[in-house]
Amino acid sequence: MSPTTELIAVGTELLLGKIVNTNARDLSESLSALGINVYYHTVVGDNPERLRQAVEIARNRADIIITTGGLGPTYDDMTKETLAACFGKQLVCCEDIAAKIRAYFADRLPGVQMPENNMRQAYLPEGCTVLRNDCGTAPGCAFYAEGKYVIMLPGPPRECRAMFRSGAVPYLKALSDAEILSHNIHIFGLGDSAVEEKLRGLMQRLTNPTLAPYAKTGEVMLRLTAKAESGAEAERLMTPVLQEVREVLGDVIYGIDADSLEGTVLRLLLDAKKTIATAESCTAGLLSKRLTDLPGASAVFLGGVAAYANEVKTKMLGVPETLIADHGAVSGPVARSMAEGARTRIGADFGIGITGIAGPDGGTAEKPVGTVYVALATAEATYVRNLRLGTDRTRVRMMAAHHALDMVRRYLTNLPVENI
């Protein structure tokens, strides 16, 4: 059983919503990689009594308490005083640190009298391990008392991260007894409840590794996590489960440990040495923006047309006016013509065409809001999906771009492109 941890962030600015608690995220990610479970995050203001109560709660439910913030020189920095008192320790002046703080000031502000409150930073709980601050003046510390490990880190994210790495990780590694590894399984084309329906038995049966779903907007991610004495052993535990998930879900899995659908498509295009061009009506640039979010896109993305007005579809992409008149701007034939126009006019291997009704207006009984046609034109054929993507404008646009990326992925991996 690995030790459990609670993170306590101290700072009224967090409770006012002025800043977001990124330290909790950063530390949790690193602790998880060390095989240390984080069970709670707590945020409390610069209030010694409320902090004391939070520490009392934490010591009853965690083996390790890591605080962030409240180590600075000002009167509202009360973390060391409060934690030391909770664990029956005195603060004592650490002469090394005091000398370092004096030197730091003399160096930066020569001739200026150092405000005396800076010396508060040199007072640390008796018997603690001092954690050096390479990015600021406030040192951190770690101690073991009354069966608990306590680690105090500074609040500024840069200082917190640096001190965690240089000071807290070596301290914690001695406590960890296992290697924990994860794989993320990325899925597009099946909703979260359908994924879970298919895998419920497996998820409930597994204890090590574990398999859990994480909903992402418009797609689904499963995380497989194994704990073992070595990384190789953890991988060995995961291999058959990964295989089983692949068998159950099939080709809706677009990647293992992928960064994003657009990243996956970008790499497939790079590998195939193919170029792409886009023609977007309702998404109006969202797809081209996503295709270029990552560096290196210029090798595969040539350009695109945001063809919002019908005249732009005609003038810039060569969509025949009669096609629009006969079928409507939101139709399979127009999506097809847009994709082919983008492909030939821009001179790419693939062309994408997207036309739809993002809403809230423009829907009809036959083509309600959320109706979207997505086409992929290749040298051999053009494929079209006819979709109903709900009524939320932002979601309709995002899902339309997702589908376009999915069509390219499926084409480049020799899977059926149109049916989903």
Per CB under 8 A, contacts with a copy of itself among 257-316 are 278, 280, 283-289, 291-293, 295, 297-298, 301-309, 311-312, 315-316
Contact map string, positions 155 to 174, toward a copy of itself, x by CB under 8 A: -x-x----------------
Sign of CA dihedral 376, 377, 380, 386: positive
Residues 115-144 that bind a copy of itself (CB under 8 A): 115, 117-118, 134-135
Which range of residues in 70-78, 83-91, 144-152, 260-268 is near a copy of itself by CB under 8 A? 70-78
Q: 366: exposed, middle or buried (C-beta count within 10 Å: 0-12, 13-18, 19+)?
A: exposed
* Interacting positions 189-208 with a copy of itself (CB under 8 A): 191-194, 196-197, 200, 203-204
420 binds a copy of itself (CB under 8 A): no
Say which residues have a Cβ less than 8 Å from residue 25's Cβ, sequence separation at least 6: none
Stretch that binds a copy of itself, among 318-326, 331-339, 352-360, 373-381 (CB under 8 A): 352-360
Which of residues 15 and 232 has its CB atom nearest to a copy of itself in the complex? 15
Closest CB to a copy of itself among 18 and 273? 18
DSSP annotation of 205 reads H
At 68, which helix (H) or strand (E)? strand 64-68
| Those residues with Cβ within 8 angstroms of residue 278's Cβ, 6 or more apart along the chain or in another chain | 287, 288, 291, 301, 303, 304, 305, 342, 351, 352, 354, 404
- Cα gap 262→289, rounded to integer Å: 10
In the bound complex, what is the minimum distance in angstroms from residue 276's beta carbon to a copy of itself? Answer: 10
Residue 326-345 contact track with a copy of itself, rule CB under 8 A, x = bound: -------------------x
Q: How far is the CB of 415 from a copy of itself (least distance, A)?
A: 20
| From 1, 88, 95, 107, residue interacting with a copy of itself (rule: CB under 8 A) | 107
CB atoms within 10 A of CB 370: 21
Span near a copy of itself by CB under 8 A; candidates 50-58, 82-90, 262-270, 319-327: 50-58
Nearer to a copy of itself, 129 or 135 (CB): 135
412 binds a copy of itself (CB under 8 A): no
The reply to whether 91 sits near a copy of itself by the rule CB under 8 A is no
Contact between 45 and a copy of itself by CB under 8 A: the answer reads yes
Which of 2, 32, 176, 344 touches a copy of itself (CB under 8 A)?
Answer: 32
Alpha-carbon gap, residue 47 to 25, rounded angstroms: 23
**Binds a copy of itself (CB under 8 A): choice among 214, 236, 271, 326:** 214
Of 237 and 306, which has the nearer Cβ to a copy of itself? 306
Q: Which is nearer to a copy of itself, 193 or 413 (CB)?
A: 193
Closest distance of CB 21 from a copy of itself, Å? 6
Integer Cα distance of 22 and 156 in angstroms: 10
* Per CB under 8 A, 31 contacts a copy of itself: yes
Q: 167: closest CA among 135, 201, 126? A: 135
Site string for a copy of itself, 11-30 (x = CB under 8 A): -xxxxxxxxxxx-xxxxxxx
Interaction pattern, residues 71-90, with a copy of itself; x per rule: CB under 8 A: -xxxxx--------------
| DSSP structure class, residue 206 | -
Integer-rounded Cα Rg, in Å, for the chain is 28
For 42, 63, 125, 272, the CA distances from 53, given in Å and listed in that order, are 11, 17, 19, 59
- Calpha distance 413→110 (Å, rounded): 65
As to burial, measured by CB atoms within 10 angstroms (0-12 exposed, 13-18 middle, 19+ buried), residue 47 is middle
First to last CA, the chain: 43
Which of these segments, 215-223, 251-259, 265-273, 332-340, binds a copy of itself (CB under 8 A)? 215-223
